Amino acid sequence: MSLWDKVFGEFIDIIEWTEDNPDTMVYRFERYGNEIKYGAKLTVRETQVAVFVSEGQIADVLTPGLYELETKNLPILSTLQHWDHGFESPFKAEVYFFNMRQFTDLKWGTKNPIMLRDPEFNMVRLRTFGSYSIRINDPEKFMLEILGTDGHFTIAEISNQLRDIIVSRYSSILGKANIPVLDLAGNYDQLGKFITKRISPEFNDYGIELIKILVENISLPSVVEEALDKRTSMGMIGDLDKYLKFNAAESLIKEDNSTSGAMEMGIGLAIGQQMSNALSKNQDIPTSPIAHAAPPPVPGDRWHVVLNGESTGPHSMNTIKKMISEGVISAETLVWLAGMPEWQEAAENATFKVLLKQAGNNKQPPPVPQ
């Protein structure tokens, strides 16, 4: 190696950018006086593009790779610098590194509710929230439309503008789509794809590719949500009459635990009996004769009385009382009621004992002797 090669080699520079902030979209390589030495090494990593700017004009755009900066690698810059007879060293130029990877999980959402016409609810207000992802797809257009001379451009500097575009276009698209509110919740994926397709051309005008818009939530005002919850509950209730009866029984049980023990037991037994009957019907299980027996007769309406050796009746209780008061029925008279095993003397029957005693007490005393 000659002395000139050794001295010249000390001036070889390395130009590269390693990301120290994942939110950086564009980084300008800082050089003192923007001077770059002849034969400098330029490293452009995957997901990067390097753009040379000379005297305010975009020159060469280099894709990923390792470059030794010479005239053949920078044809446009050589033309702008009038390097007809070789490469001058050093030379002045700005080098911008563009981050070409995706920027994901960027949030968007409607600041104010969107007023829409709905075929079922007439007028509704909706709020929508979601996320989107982008990347630079045209560095030259991005530099001209967005970047300018910013040496350190981050996603935060453009996210608000992009979000406003999405919200504005989303409101217009949703208003013209005529999709019922209840169908929106089940079509988040299709809605996101549709919006992405409609808005992408506007992003392309900035040198940005809109990769995907995700709709994560569409919400109604709280009052409308409560009404929908009630409507859903009514659909789940089914038979409203049965539901009201069940609620009434439940409220009676809970109303006063200290005084309603018997009521709880009675309701519990009744519900249990109904459930047993329903289960027996559904499973064709035979029930006991008692379960199907008719209700017991009303006391007093089926009394039979032996008069003059013959059975008479059935007699009502009022008739029985009248017959006792008139002396037709005495303590030895045989009586019978449905359910009794055999005839019984009136004096031995608990009911007639009371009636005979009451009749005796109600007799008028004999007249006072004169």
- Global pTM exceeds 0.75: no
Determine which helix (DSSP H) or strand (DSSP E) holds 190, and give its type and residue range: helix 188-204
- The pairing of strands 122-136 and 91-92 is unpaired
Longest pairwise C-alpha distance within the chain: 175
Q: Residue 144 above 70 pLDDT?
A: yes
Q: What is the pLDDT of residue 5?
A: 46
Q: For residues 240 and 167, which has the higher predicted lDDT (pLDDT)?
A: 167
Stronger pLDDT, 359 or 51, i.e. the higher one: 51
Identify the CA nearest to 301 among candidates 351, 342, 358: 351
pLDDT at 56: 82
- The mean pLDDT of 242-246, rounded to a whole number, is 68
Q: For residues 170 and 196, is the Cβ–Cβ distance under 8 A? A: no
Would you list the DSSP string of 141-187? Answer: HHIIIIITT-SEEETHHHHHHHHHHHHHHHHHHHHHH---HHHHTT-
The band of 25, judged by pLDDT with boundaries at 50, 70 and 90, is: very high
Cβ pair 25, 153 in contact under 8 A: yes
Per residue in 253-303, pLDDT (tens digit) is 665 554 455 455 555 555 556 555 655 555 554 444 444 444 444 454 578
> What pLDDT sits at residue 225?
63
pLDDT at 239: 63
pLDDT of 77-93, one tens digit each?
Answer: 777 776 655 666 677 88
Q: Give φ, ψ of 215 to 5 degrees.
A: -100, 115
- At residue 8, the pLDDT reads 46
Give backbone dihedrals phi and psi of 313, rounded to 5 degrees, phi first: 125, -170
Cβ neighbours for 40, distance < 8 A, ≥ 6 positions apart: 12, 13, 14, 15, 68, 69
pLDDT tier, 122 (very low <50, low <70, confident <90, very high otherwise): confident
Domain covering 103-224 in this structure, CATH number: 3.30.479.30
pLDDT attached to residue 232: 64
Rounded CA-CA distance 134/155 in Å is 10
Average pLDDT over residues 218-241: 67
Position 292 scores a pLDDT of: 44
With bands split at pLDDT 50, 70 and 90, how would you rate the model's confidence at 64?
very high
pLDDT score, position 43: 93
* Percent of the chain whose pLDDT exceeds 90: 24
Neighbours of 333 (CB within 10 A): 20
The region of weakest confidence among 204-213, 270-279, 304-313 is 270-279
